[in-house]
């Protein structure tokens, strides 16, 4: 507990208080594991384990890591599709800080429209038996837009913002390509005027040529509407292009957090170095050396003691096997945080 409090305090001191939109404090999400005839709970999968992060207003915070590291689960916790097992989600709005996990039912409903999500698969994100107008109209009506003409106008404007014609609202999902569907999903998330948009691999299901169009569109919308993004992805080139700061996750924990340029050119954590070595860009800090990680990712139901990465780290020391490292700033760069004994000693 002391380590967690220390890392949180350090991150707090580095963050400008008046510019924070969302703070995550010791966020945890554990899924129970059941076995036996009576389905008794015998353990827990620690998908998200004591995450401390802050998101500044107007920025894009990238979230990267291998499949199964917990980044999508963390995104769903932020929009409360998953209710965290513990911790706090402090949302700063209109000069007031609210813990999203302790709000009343009415207060929680009123804040939901401020945090929206764009999902990975544009094909399963839209109901195939409902036209686009219905997909947009229902959330608008639920969130207080009672006038039908106003809702229709807002839907038309949202579609035009993503470079689609307004009359597309009367079509069905099967009439659109994958790129068009994802733009429709982006427009749907924006029609209720959110402040924060959680983007879960928004371009991974699209062709490369379409990816560039969608990413540029998202940047334009951010500049025009003043949006804040949490951008979850596994493609490091895409994350570099989109993000101001990047958090690296491993086994449910944040192991490195830094401005984009600092992380890509001077990675501090061995796991980040290994991830970047897989990107065929010689200008990155790995100098072109390919780092092949040995072994498999440990089970989040039985994480190893000490540093979670020590079972695959080529620079592992005896201290790493017993003592969990804190997320601390580097001595020469107070905005660059890493959880590694090698860098923090």
Q: Report how far apart, in Å, the C-alpha atoms of 5 and of each of 10, 37, 133, 208 are.
A: 9, 40, 48, 42
Is residue 172 predicted with pLDDT exceeding 90? Answer: yes
pTM summary value: 0.90
Q: How confident is the model at residue 185 (pLDDT cuts 50, 70, 90)?
A: very high
Which domains occur in the chain, in start order?
2-114+194-344 (3.40.50.300), 122-193 (no CATH)
Half-sphere exposure of 112 (CA within 13 A, CB side): 16
Q: Which residues of 254-285 are buried (b: 16+ CB within 10 A; e: fewer)?
A: bbbbbebebbbebbbbbbbbbbbbeeeeeebb
pLDDT of residue 2: 41
Going by pLDDT thresholds of 50, 70 and 90, the confidence category of residue 237 is confident
Q: What pLDDT, on the 0 to 100 scale, is given for residue 36?
A: 82
Instruction: Assess contact for 282 and 298: CB atoms under 8 A.
Output: no
Query: Is 60 exceeded by the pLDDT of residue 184?
Result: yes
Identify the H or E element spanning 256. strand 253-259
Q: Nearest 5 degrees, angle CA 287-CA 71-CA 189? A: 115
Mean pLDDT to the nearest integer, 77-91: 95
Which segments of 3-107 are extended strands (E)? Answer: 20-35, 40-56, 60-64, 86-93, 96-99
Q: Dump pLDDT digits (tens) for 287-317.
A: 567 787 887 888 999 999 999 999 999 888 8
* CB burial of residue 316 (10 Å; 0-12, 13-18, 19+): middle
The predicted structure's pLDDT at residue 269: 94
Mean pLDDT across the stretch 87-114? 91
pLDDT reported for residue 7: 45
CB-CB neighbours of 78 under 10 Å: 23
Environment class of 222 (CB within 10 Å of its CB; exposed 0-12, middle 13-18, buried 19+) = middle
Q: Two tokens at 149? A: 């003409």
Backbone conformation region of residue 185, classed left if phi is above 0, alpha if psi is from -120 to 50, else beta: alpha
pLDDT the model gives residue 1: 39
Choose between 3 and 149: higher pLDDT. Answer: 149
Calpha distance 243→85 (Å, rounded) = 28
Beta strand pairing call for 333-338 and 253-259? antiparallel
């Amino acid at each position: 507990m002391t380590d967690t409090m220390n890392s949180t305090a350090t991150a707090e001191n580095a963050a400008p208080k008046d510019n924070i939109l969302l703070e995550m404090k010791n966020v945890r999400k554990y899924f129970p594991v059941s076995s036996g005839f009576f389905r008794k709970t015998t353990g827990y999968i620690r998908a998200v384990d004591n995450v401390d992060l802050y998101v500044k207003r107007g920025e894009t915070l990238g979230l990267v890591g291998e499949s199964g590291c917990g980044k999508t689960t963390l995104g769903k916790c932020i929009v409360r599709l998953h209710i965290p097992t513990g911790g706090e989600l402090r949302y700063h709005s209109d000069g007031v800080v609210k813990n999203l996990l302790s709000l009343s039912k009415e207060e929680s409903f009123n804040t939901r429209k401020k945090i929206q999500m764009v999902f990975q698969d544009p094909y399963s994100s839209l109901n195939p038996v409902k036209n686009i107008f219905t997909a947009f109209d229902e959330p608008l009506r639920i969130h207080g837009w009672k006038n039908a003409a106003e809702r229709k106008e807002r839907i038309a404007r949202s579609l035009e913002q993503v470079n689609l014609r307004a009359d597309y609202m009367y079509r069905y999902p099967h009439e659109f390509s994958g790129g068009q569907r994802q733009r429709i999903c982006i427009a749907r998330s924006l029609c209720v005027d959110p402040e924060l948009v959680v983007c879960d691999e928004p371009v991974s299901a699209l062709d490369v040529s379409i990816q560039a169009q969608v990413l540029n569109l998202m940047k334009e919308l951010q500049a025009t509407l003043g949006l804040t993004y949490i951008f979850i992805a596994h493609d490091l080139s895409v994350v570099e292009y989109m993000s101001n700061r990047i958090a690296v996750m491993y086994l449910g924990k944040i192991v490195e957090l830094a401005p984009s340029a600092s992380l890509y050119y001077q990675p501090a954590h061995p796991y980040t170095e290994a991830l970047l070595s897989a990107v065929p860009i010689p200008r990155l800090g790995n100098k072109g050396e390919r780092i092949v990680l040995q072994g498999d990712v440990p089970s989040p139901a039985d994480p190893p003691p000490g540093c979670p990465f020590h079972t695959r780290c080529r620079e592992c020391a005896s201290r790493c096997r017993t003592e969990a490292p804190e997320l601390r700033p580097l001595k020469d760069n107070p905005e660059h945080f890493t959880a590694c004994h090698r860098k923090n000693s």
